[in-house]
Amino acid sequence: MSAADFTQESAALARDRQGHGAALLRFVKRNPTMTIGALILLLVAILALAAPLFAGDPVSMRPAQRLRPPSSTNWLGTDHLGRDVFARTIFGARVSLYVGVAVSVMSILFGLVIGLVSGYFRRADAVVMRLMDGLMAIPGILLAIALVALTRASVTVVIFAITIPEVPRVVRLVRSVVLSVREAPYVEAAVSSGTPVWKILLRHILPSTVAPLIVQATYICASAILIEASLSFLGAGTPPEVPTWGNMIAQSRLFLSRAPWTIFAPGVALALVVLAVNLLGDGLRDRLDPRLARRM
Amino acid sequence: MSAAAPLLQVEGLKKHFPLKHGLFGGEVVAIRAVDGVDLTIAPGETLCLVGESGSGKSTVGKLVLRLTEPTAGTIRLEGVDITHLGPDAMRPYRRRAQMVFQDPYASLNPRMTAGKIVSEPLENYPDIGASARKERVAALFEQVGLRPDAMQRFPFEFSGGQRQRLGIARALALNPALIVADEPVSALDVSVQAQVLNLMMDLQEELGLAYLFISHDLGVVEHIGHHVAVMYLGRIVEYATKDALFENPRHPYSQALLAAAPLPDPRAKRERVVLQGDIPSPINPPTGCAFHTRCPKAFDRCKVETPQLVPTADGRLASCHLVE
């Protein structure tokens, strides 16, 4: 970060002391996309967490009331088994967000450790990177179908199946940062003053990977949500009784012309959440990595 | 070279960076960054290593501190051969030799406060407690002319000269006997250069430090040096006391270097020795004397026979067929 950035930053801090409201407004004005993305995600997360309190029953079937259009009792109508689409959409957000967050956290953790080792210890590098190339060649969806076929379909299996092909991407990112930072004179200074390797990695190298990793995590999160939906749609993801957006779309596609609301609700929700995550990711990238910033 | 027991003794030091490996791992093509360097530094002495870009002088500095692994040769620090010590065995010797870097911006971790940067070396050798460490850091700040309240600040809040003082404080933290200074003032304004150089000389007097001072600036070398080693293409071509070298350089390359250094007096006249072309590639160094391709005094023998670094009549070392 250049000195100018820091002056800007400290000026912002000074303003912050004068009034939180003004500073917040300024931040929102400067980063509209990031704010919109974060607000949508926050809203969805609150709705998902509070789902049992207000959304109603997402699983009980009422065949007499199947394929009802939106009404005051069923805000988004009912599906072909008479289940409430609103409740199922809200509960579906739980699975989507859980998968998105779990996959990004796990792939970042694994990728960070492997990437640090691979980037810093040159002997490990050749072996580790060939392994990662191999992992990268596995298509996530095929792996998930194979894993689900071998074990039982569950959210955990889906999370592992999506995480495995994401790890190499994180490893490459971390490795590239480590390779550039390890040659920095301040790292050499640490080596020559007897700093142990683990401390060099944690104190001098790890912090440089944080900003790009946060950005990467948002993209992984968005793609994990989409892959989970695709897997559920294909029947290789979460068990069909679990309300997820992919399951809902898959089960409702036969009734698209008679009851379009059964597909629109989960479809719009899916698009909205992925868009929000991507907006947040783009905003974070612009804030955290000025070299990649493309300001409008 | 020097009467006192040497602090640092380097013999036959080589560093080849392989570009291609043969079928069985042997080097086929390599950059010969350092190709047989002998050096001796006595305690409290400043040895200046001069040469143009690509002569291998910075690599020598890193090799001496074991920041890169030598291809061949031995490095003795205070009489102990440290050339092949593993990381753990090396730790007690790391503290005896420290480095000051050229770039005062890149050599300080931007995320650490100045106090933390200077205390890090002390944390690595837990022979002093936390409270003593704080006192030591405060003393170091004072020693290099930084105010104590600077400890809480981050590197970007300092000027270039202050940052270099910080780098010196960090290097001093472990009470080293030797400091390798790789162009420590070349990134600074001329007015600040003098301050930092004077600080380094004061510290030398106070603490009995020895410096391996790497520089391409002969004005700086004249100010701070005791002995000077001139490097060309990974080898030392002349080694002499500073006065002897500046008064009467013997090797043609030293002569050319001195002639190229700017004089403060614009009316001063002197013999110009202008070298043609660039330094040859260290991948395929010229046969015979490495300097013969650019030497104004080269003759047939220079192309075939490599001159050795031998003592001359006036007590210096030079590798040139003309001075043998």
pLDDT score, position A145? 84
Mean residue pLDDT of chain A comes to 86
CATH topology of domain A43-57+74-288: MetI-like fold (1.10.3720)
CB B108, CB B117: distance < 8 Å:
yes
| Span B125-147, average pLDDT | 90
* Pairwise CB contact (< 8 Å): B95 & A3: no
Q: How far is B7 from chain A (nearest CA, A)?
A: 18
Confidence tier at A10 by pLDDT (50, 70, 90): low
* Pairwise CB contact (< 8 Å): A195 & B107: no
pLDDT score, position A167? 93
* Pairwise CB contact (< 8 Å): A189 & B87: no
Amino acid at site B213: F
* Pairwise CB contact (< 8 Å): B67 & A192: yes
Query: Helix B130-143 and helix B160-172: axis angle, to 10°?
Result: 130
The C-alpha atoms of residue B225 and residue B304 are separated, in whole angstroms, by 34
* Pairwise CB contact (< 8 Å): A193 & B95: yes
pLDDT digits (tens, 9 = 90+) for B71-95: 999 999 999 999 999 888 888 899 9
Mean residue pLDDT of chain B comes to 88
What b/e string do you get for A52-71 counting C-beta neighbours within 10 Å, with b at 16 or more?
eeebbebeeeeeebbbbeee
Note the Cα A62 to chain centre separation in Å.
Answer: 35
Residue from the list B99, B102, B110 with its beta carbon closest to the beta carbon of A1:
B110
Tokens of A193: 């003053």
Burial classification of residue B91, based on how many CB atoms lie within 10 Å of its CB (0-12 exposed, 13-18 middle, 19 or more buried): middle
Residue from the list B67, B120, B125 with its beta carbon closest to the beta carbon of A188:
B67
Confidence tier at A295 by pLDDT (50, 70, 90): very low
Residue from the list A186, A195, A204 with its beta carbon closest to the beta carbon of B124:
A195
- Nearest to A212, CA basis, from A181, A258, A256, A253: A181
What percentage of chain A's residues is helix, strand, coil (to nearest 5)?
Answer: 75, 0, 25
Amino acid at site B144: V
Optimal mutation site among A8, A9, A192, interface B, most CBs of chain B within 10 A: A192
pLDDT digits (tens, 9 = 90+) for A140-179: 788 888 888 888 778 888 899 889 989 999 999 999 999 9
Tokens of A153: 């379909």
The C-alpha atoms of residue A62 and residue A76 are separated, in whole angstroms, by 15
pLDDT digits (tens, 9 = 90+) for A87-116: 999 999 999 999 999 999 999 999 999 999
Task: Tell me the H-state helices in chain B.
Answer: 57-64, 87-94, 114-124, 130-143, 160-172, 190-207, 218-224, 242-247, 252-260, 300-304
Instruction: Indicate if the pLDDT at residue B198 is higher than 80.
Output: yes
Residue from the list A3, A185, A199 with its beta carbon closest to the beta carbon of B156:
A3
ipTM of the complex: 0.84
Contacts of B106 in chain A (CB under 8 A): 184-186
- Nearest to A230, CA basis, from A167, A110, A134, A143: A143
Tokens of B191: 């007015």
pLDDT score, position A236? 82
Instruction: Indicate if the pLDDT at residue A202 is higher than 90.
Output: yes
Q: DSSP letter at A67?
A: T
Where are the domains positioned within chain A? 43-57+74-288
Confidence tier at A1 by pLDDT (50, 70, 90): very low
Confidence tier at A2 by pLDDT (50, 70, 90): very low
* Pairwise CB contact (< 8 Å): B170 & A192: no
